[in-house]
Amino acid sequence: MIALRTSSLRFRKAGLQHPRSTHHLSSRRGGGEHEGWAEGIASLTERHTATALLDDGAAGRLGAKPSGGEAPSAAAAAHLLASPTARPANGSMAAAATAAARPAVGPEEEQRARLEHALRSLEVEVLARGELLADLGAPDGYGPTGLSEAQLEELLAAVTAHMDAACAADVTVVRRRKVPAPTVGAPDHHVADVCIRRRVGAAAALEVRVAVIGNVDSGKSTMVGVLTRSVLDDGRGFARSKVFKHGHESDTGRTSSIGQHTLCLDSRGDILNDPSFRTQSIADYVKQASKVVTLVDLAGHERYFKTTAYGLTGHLPDYACLIVGANAGVVGMCKEHLGVALALKVPVFFVVTKIDLAPKHVMKHTLQTLSAILKKPGVRKRPFLVRNADDVLTCARHMHADSLAPIFLTSSVTGQGLDLIRLFYNLLPQRHNWADKSSEHSEFLIDEVFQVPGVGTVVAGTVKRGTIAPNTQLLMGPDIADTTFKPVVVKSVHYKRLPVGRVVAGQTAALALKRVKRHQVRKGMVLVAAEARPQASWEFDADIAILTHQTTIQPRYQAVIHCEIVRQSARVVAMDRERLRSGDRACVRFRFLQRPEYLTAGTRFVFREGRTKGIGMVVGTAMGPAVQHEQAQTPIAAH
């Protein structure tokens, strides 16, 4: 990757230049519409070089995995698994060629073979993922096709028995539907959409993290309180008072910190949270849950934007839930939060609240404005208004595509639309394939530090990869004093206040550390396995794109970097272009101003400075062996 950057610099020295895009007006009158994150992304067109960085293809060109999706698991590839959205269980070209080479079989034998293949495929998928949303009896689904109602019941019974015995999983029928027969006059075929989920104790609980964002006073905390406490709001702040962390938040009614709240579901999709749910008793619910949805409640006021940006990057959300007040519309920080989520490639769905307060014409204007933003060239999302359970199922299946934008209409006072939101959270899959990452070297991102009396120093954060258990020895760093990584031992592990024997990739956790003082740990540090040989970097190379800037960017330009749990000012020390304007893309080298940080290649980040907004992807660090070797041959630039 560094070789590409150094060759680009030699390309510059040879006198060749990239085609420059038109400079946006830098005055307030002319460039005001390009000052925000959402406006900057929406204004990008194909003529801007920055557009490519928002596409997954850009990540693949740089040799890094796109953040919006993961490669198929090795087990799935080895078993040639059938997936409703990727590989049809019936009718694939390979299966047709194989069937043509074999002697003809009777209908009963063919049905039996398809059933056995479906059971094996479902077993491997469920064991690897923990849950699966599957079609039974559909032409592009699992099992035999062309089923009558009685035959579908037999198929459901066979799948249920096999999942219970082989995977310790429950099968829940989400929807039954009829598919028209291919021939005229023939009876319709029956199909069932089922959710298969492993029971509690059979494996680690699945966790899906959803960042709740939106403008101030749009009803974010109220929605979180209604969902996690199973109560309705009284219109005067009853629900949000149950999720606030600080007294001044209750006094002002505005969130100023990052709050994590849990929605617990069992293996059959039933919500375990009830009105007696309390933060102190969360462990009683988690130990009964097969799936946990963590709602990360973020601040909506402009004053706390850096806290919100930290929550969107450092907490590694699978999805973002953008709350829009129907009576206020898409205004203020709503656009800013949407822009950051789009820049980080986090799939977004929308919840329009307070529909009981908004007049019809205001409600219509809000939906039109939202749809207009989503359809702009830089965003390229398809708005989809969710009206019933069938629409929920469609959205849950295609949220990973990052091109669908579901819109829910709800009211926290009357309860309208809340049943669809709960069903959507139940069916929402994990965005990343954490099963493969659990076998890698351990890495834990620290986003909170506590001093617990009688326990000692406790760090909270997210397991990015690997598995962590009590008495595990890891390296913690970069150290505050000398930027090295010091060995530490994990004393105990808690998951949602529940003592557990281990936590795996994709879960949030709290780790008690042995013989570590509180002042030795800070936010932004990591716990890494010694086999990974971690090093802190003062400098890193990045592929960046400028969304909006009033003038030009040159070397020595400074901005605040938000890269996962890292939040620090950095200076541009080298770049492969003379200057950058809005809509431009370039390869640059950043240098941190305060202390070195631990970064990994392929990580997306955002940077900001005043009205300047930009996005980027880390392509290499200055302390890595490959970079040092490259620097010995051709230095990237003279600092």
What are the extents of the domains in the chain? 2-66+535-633, 74-194, 206-431, 442-528
Residue 573 has pLDDT above 90, yes or no: yes
Residue 500 has pLDDT above 60, yes or no: yes
In tens, the pLDDT along 4-13 reads 444 444 434 4
Helix (H, G, I), strand (E, B) or coil at 17: coil
Q: Give the per-residue pLDDT at 15.
A: 41
Residue 631 has pLDDT above 80, yes or no: no
User: What average pLDDT does this structure show over 620-634?
Assistant: 48
> Which position has the token pair 């049905």?
111
> Crossing angle, helix 107-129 and helix 149-166, to 10 degrees?
40
The CATH class of the 442-528 domain is: mainly beta
In tens, the pLDDT along 124-165 reads 999 999 999 999 999 889 999 989 999 999 999 999 999 999
> Which position has the token pair 């530090």?
449
Q: With bands split at pLDDT 50, 70 and 90, how would you rate the model's confidence at 456?
A: very high
Residue 626 has pLDDT above 60, yes or no: no
Mean pLDDT of the chain: 84
Q: Give the per-residue pLDDT at 614.
A: 93
**How far is 582 from 34, CA to CA, in rounded Å?**
9
Query: How many other β-carbons are positioned within 10 Å of the β-carbon of residue 361?
Result: 8
In tens, the pLDDT along 348-357 reads 999 999 999 9
Contacts of 163 (CB under 8 A, 6+ apart): 122, 123, 126, 169, 170, 171, 196
User: What average pLDDT does this structure show over 599-604?
Assistant: 93
Residue 182, Cβ density class (10 Å: 0-12 exposed, 13-18 middle, ≥19 buried): exposed
Residue 603 has pLDDT above 50, yes or no: yes
Residue environment code for 561-585, b if the CB has 16+ CB neighbours within 10 A, otherwise e: bbbbbbbbebbbbbbbbeebbbbbb
Q: Which residue pairs from 241-249 have beta carbons closer than 8 angstroms and sit at least 24 positions apart in sequence?
A: 243/297
Domains 2-66+535-633 and 206-431 share a fold: no
Contact between residue 346 and residue 381 where contact means Cβ atoms under 8 Å apart: no
Q: Give the per-residue pLDDT at 480.
A: 85
Contacts of 154 (CB under 8 A, 6+ apart): none
State the number of CA atoms in the 13 A half-sphere of 384 facing the CB. 21
Q: Give the per-residue pLDDT at 611.
A: 84
- Second-level CATH architecture of 206-431: 3-Layer(aba) Sandwich (3.40)
Say which CATH superfamily domain 2-66+535-633 falls into.
Translation factors (2.40.30.10)
User: What average pLDDT does this structure show over 616-624?
Assistant: 80
In tens, the pLDDT along 187-229 reads 889 999 999 999 998 788 999 999 999 999 999 999 999 999 9
**How far is 348 from 385, CA to CA, in rounded Å?**
14
In tens, the pLDDT along 103-119 reads 556 778 888 899 999 99
Tokens representing 130 are 């923990």
State the number of CA atoms in the 13 A half-sphere of 215 facing the CB. 16
Contact between residue 564 and residue 533 where contact means Cβ atoms under 8 Å apart: no
Q: Give the per-residue pLDDT at 92.
A: 42
Q: Give the per-residue pLDDT at 19.
A: 39
Contact between residue 196 and residue 122 where contact means Cβ atoms under 8 Å apart: yes
In tens, the pLDDT along 273-319 reads 999 998 889 999 999 999 999 999 999 999 999 999 999 999 999 99
> Which position has the token pair 């049943």?
419
Sign of the C-alpha dihedral computed for residues 229, 420, 315 and 370 taken in this order:
negative
More confident residue, 123 or 622: 123
Residue 454 has pLDDT above 70, yes or no: yes
**How far is 625 from 623, CA to CA, in rounded Å?**
7
In tens, the pLDDT along 508-529 reads 999 999 999 999 999 999 999 9
Q: Give the per-residue pLDDT at 147.
A: 92
Q: With bands split at pLDDT 50, 70 and 90, how would you rate the model's confidence at 623?
A: low
Task: Enumerate the H helices of 468-560 as residue ranges.
Answer: none
**How far is 533 from 621, CA to CA, in rounded Å?**
14
